[in-house]
Amino acid sequence: MLSVLTTIFMLIFGGYFLWFVTKRRNKSSEPPIVPYWIPWLGQGLNYQKNPFTFVQACAKKYGPIFSVFMGGRYFTFVTDPFTHPTIAKESRKLNFRLQTMSLTKNVFGYKRGSVDAPTAGGHFPKYMQGENLEDLMKIMMRNLHSIRKQDRLNCADWTEIDLLRLSYDIMFTAGYKSIFGSYSKASGKQENFQDIIDDFILFDDAFPKLVQGYPASSLKGVESARGSFWKMLDSGELDERTDVYAFIDAIRRSYEDRPKDIPKMLFSILWAAESNTVLAAYWALYYVLKHPEAIVAARKEIDHMIDATSQQGNEEIHFTRADFEKMTVLESIVNESLRLGDSPSMLRLATEDYDLHVKCLDKTFRIREGDSVMVMFQLTHMDPEIYSNPEEFKYDRFLTKDSQMKTDFYKDGKPVKFHLQPFGSGLSKCPGRYFAIGELKQFLVLMLRYYDIELKDPQQATGANYNRVAFGTLPPTNECPIRFKRRVT
Ligand code: HEM
């Protein structure tokens, strides 16, 4: 018995020793590797505990470029903001799509046609920019107004609700209706948004695990929640709806040869459109409510624009994109809340050995073929050299003294081009960003113009949940009860 145990021990120890002596050593031309002792997992557990603080601590110790082994692969983190534009520009040798192709299958249940296949059939630029976007925003504002007028939200007396739920009730519902329309009268159907939102939150919470490769069936309720969206977005169901945005019809036509994938693909668009936006709306309102001076400044700007556009304050206000461009206080609030609540990244796969010049060191490092390159923009957003007291919300941080947009931010006395990247960068940059910014401003106009609204406990702090670092907007860690009642009837 003893000899069996000794043999097993020797085998394990021998195997570990062999792994340890043969594991990759970095060459002088390569970024330093953060030491690790566990095969395959590497630093994975430490990273997962809190990716932001882990990467921040490594940057302090190893400098602005270093490699981390986790999950059997090497990830090179680049924290120098001056080098980020170089990575964003290099789309061939540092590929985005190869990095994420396999994720799409596990998370959304369909495979992209090819590495070069454009997202959503390539229809984003046409439908999420320019005149079409102006029309979409009109529809969005109309939907926001109709939701505001529902009995539940049109209360004359103070009513309590959790801020995140309110953000979902308003933004998810309006966003969904603006893109996917509503059931026609003839269909005799009507959706229950409370159930849809519950399903969405269930799926959204599971998102990081699905990205890590957990099968949907292993996560309670996720397969069924995802399945209900596939059913809702099935072509038969969509045909029973009216006011479906032309964008969706264009996508359906592009995927005619893969009918089974259409609802899955549409669900991925729905998820991308709603998940980050609802959470970003939450943070924008949360920070404004925490800072009464922001409410005063935003309301002043909204009132001014109502007068300037000759609208009556008690009717359904609508601002065009050109109006919003002049509303710099709103823009600064949106930028500042995205800076604090968002955790965007840029993840690329080196398709061949690639020499990256790290500008702040004036030194070139070789990235090996097959390694990943990772930029966490949150490190820039929280850099005290670029943003003084970065933990603090300053509603006017992005304003100049004469209330224009401030765009120059410095580090080491040099301007940082990529100082604010809430939508990522390069080829993978969010194609829905113009709509997203518009929606957030519309949400703030709706909430501040039409509601008296306050935090139930202004002293209560809400933190960001770091399980979503690098995936987009961070969810809050705890409930945040608020009170609201209608302000303009
Ligand atoms: C505040 C709201 C939003 C934020 C913070 C946000 C953020 C992001 C980020 C950071 C990425 C890049 C991910 C990466 O590089 O890996 C991304 C991708 C994407 N976003 Fe957004 N987004 C928002 C709203 C929207 C909206 C409203 C839509 C659709 C109408 C949308 C559609 C997409 C799509 C389809 C992608 C994937 C692009 C691709 O893989 O080619 N997003 N978003």
Q: For residue 15, what pLDDT is reported?
A: 76
For a mutational test of ligand 1's pocket, the pick from 96, 112, 276, 425, i.e. the residue with the most ligand atoms closer than 8 A to its C-beta, is 276
Contact 54, 66 (CB under 8 A): no
Cα(326) to centroid(ligand 1), Å: 25
Residues 397-435: pLDDT tens digits?
Answer: 999 999 999 999 999 999 999 999 999 999 889 999 999
Q: Is 337 in the pocket of ligand 1 (CB under 6 A)?
A: no
Cα(305) to centroid(ligand 1), Å: 29
Q: How confident is the model at residue 78 (pLDDT cuts 50, 70, 90)?
A: very high
Instruction: List phi, psi (to 5°) of 70.
Output: -155, 145
Residues linked to residue 375 through DSSP beta bridges, in sequence order: 346
Q: Is 273 in the pocket of ligand 1 (CB under 6 A)?
A: yes
Residue nearest to atom 36 of ligand 1 (CA): 430
* Ligand 1 atom closest to Cα of residue 424: 10
Residues 390-407: pLDDT tens digits?
Answer: 999 999 999 999 999 999
For a mutational test of ligand 1's pocket, the pick from 278, 423, 429, i.e. the residue with the most ligand atoms closer than 8 A to its C-beta, is 423
Specify the range with the lowest mean pLDDT, choosing from 12-26, 131-145, 168-182. Answer: 12-26
Contact 279, 341 (CB under 8 A): yes
In this structure, the strands spanning 372-376 and 73-78 are: parallel
Rg, Å, the chain Cα set: 24
Give the end-to-end CA distance of the chain in Å, rounded to a whole number.
84
CA distances from 104 to 68, 79, 113, 250 (A): 24, 27, 11, 21
- Could you identify the residue written with the tokens 């930028």? 335
276 in a known ligand binding site: yes
* Ligand 1 atom closest to Cα of residue 342: 5
What are the sequence ranges of the domains in the chain? 107-341+378-486
Is residue 221 exposed (0-12), middle (13-18) or buried (19+ Cβ within 10 Å)? middle
Q: Is 346 in the pocket of ligand 1 (CB under 6 A)?
A: yes
Examine the pLDDT at 11 and tell me if it is beyond 90.
Answer: no
Examine the pLDDT at 1 and tell me if it is beyond 70.
Answer: no
Cα(3) to centroid(ligand 1), Å: 59
Specify the range with the lowest mean pLDDT, choosing from 193-197, 270-274, 294-298, 485-489. Answer: 485-489
Contact 233, 241 (CB under 8 A): no
Average pLDDT, rounded, for the chain:
94
CA distances from 210 to 102, 187, 206 (A): 11, 35, 6
CATH superfamily of this structure's domain 107-341+378-486: Cytochrome P450 (1.10.630.10)
258 vs 264: CA distance, rounded Å: 11
Q: Is 171 in the pocket of ligand 1 (CB under 6 A)?
A: no
480 in a known ligand binding site: no
134 vs 113: CA distance, rounded Å: 31
Q: Is 421 in the pocket of ligand 1 (CB under 6 A)?
A: no
Residues 319-356: pLDDT tens digits?
Answer: 999 999 999 999 999 999 999 999 999 999 999 999 99
User: 268-297: buried (b, 16+ CB within 10 Å) or exposed (e) per residue?
Assistant: bbbbbbbbbbbbbbbbbbbbbbbbeebbeb
pLDDT > 70: percent of the chain: 99
Q: What integer is the mean pLDDT of 143-167?
A: 96
Q: For residue 19, what pLDDT is reported?
A: 66
Tell me, what amino acid is at 225? A
In this structure, the strands spanning 451-455 and 414-415 are: unpaired
For residue 79 the two structure tokens come to 């924290």
60 vs 37: CA distance, rounded Å: 21
Question: SS3 string of the chain?
Answer: CHHHHHHHHHHHHHHHHHHHHHCCCCCCCCCCECCCCCCCCECHHHHHHCHHHHHHHHHHHHCCEEEEEECCEEEEEECCCCCHHHHHHCCCCEECHHHHHHHHHHHHCCCCCCCCCCHHHHCHHHHCCHHHHHHHHHHHHHHHHHHHCCHHHCCCCCEEEEHHHHHHHHHHHHHHHHHHCEECHHHCCCCCHHHHHHHHHHHHHHHHHHHHCCCHHHCCCHHHHHHHHHHHCCHHHHCCEECCCHHHHHHHHHCCCCHHHHHHHHHHHHHHHHHHHHHHHHHHHHHHHHCHHHHHHHHHHHHHHHHHCCCCCCCCCCCCHHHHHHCHHHHHHHHHHHHHHEECEEEEEECCCEEEEECCCCEEEEECCCCEEEEEHHHHHCCCCCCCCCCCCCCCCCECCCCCECCCCEECCEECCCCCCCCCCHHHCCCCHHHHHHHHHHHHHHHHHHEEEEECCCCCCCCECHHHCCCEECCECCCCEEEEEECCC
276 vs 281: CA distance, rounded Å: 9
CA distances from 262 to 127, 233, 269, 318, 404 (A): 18, 8, 11, 33, 44
Examine the pLDDT at 102 and tell me if it is beyond 80.
Answer: no
Positive/negative CA dihedral, 130, 132, 138, 143: negative
